[in-house]
Amino acid sequence: MNDYWGVPEQEYELSLLQFAKKELSEMGYIVLSEKVEVCSGAGAMTLSALLKKKEEFRFGLYIHDGPKHRKTRAPPIIWMLKVLPEMKTAQDLRDFILNHPHDFGILLAPENTMMKDWKEAKLKKIYTFLYNLKIKDMYDTDLSSAADVLRERLRKITEIQV
């Protein structure tokens, strides 16, 4: 998995959650750290983030939306994960996921499954909003260069907002 994703160059450091600041804030979420990776070709995207809900504990967010999900119209993978004490950034969470690709979901499963389901449902709404706002039309029109288009679009919008 590490070979597949590689380590993005600094110019490819992207943020997707920045476009949902208002929606996240209305739900009481604060983004502490975020890591977005876009794979070449059809544009599989992985987002790892550390979030916090006002006075509550930190938790991890993992989203993987790949061409297989879009092709079959299946929903992307969106998981709320437990954050270990040594995880200070989204990169720490991503490194753990890369080092445990087959069992990170089990190792980082939150103990309170009702809260996990509730938060995942809310985070799916946020991702649906982001997908429809920034990503959907691109995949509908040009799958061959979707990754490049996504990188460029997110980078340009980031520059405009700064």
pLDDT above 80 for 142: no
> What tens digit of pLDDT does each residue of 52-98 get?
987 778 999 999 887 776 667 677 889 999 999 999 999 999 999 99
- pLDDT tier at 135 (50, 70, 90 boundaries)? confident
Rounded to an integer, the average pLDDT of 39-48 is 76
pTM: 0.79
Task: Return the domain boundaries, the chain.
Answer: 1-6+27-112
Query: Considering only CA atoms, which of 126, 120, 124, 157 is closest in space to residue 15?
Result: 157
Give the CA distances from residue 150 to residues 14, 39, 107, 123, 128, in Å, rounded to whole numbers and listed in that order: 10, 10, 31, 21, 16
**What would you measure as the largest C-alpha separation in the chain, in angstroms?**
44
Question: In sequence order, which residues have a C-beta less than 8 Å from that of residue 162 and are 6 or more positions away?
Answer: none
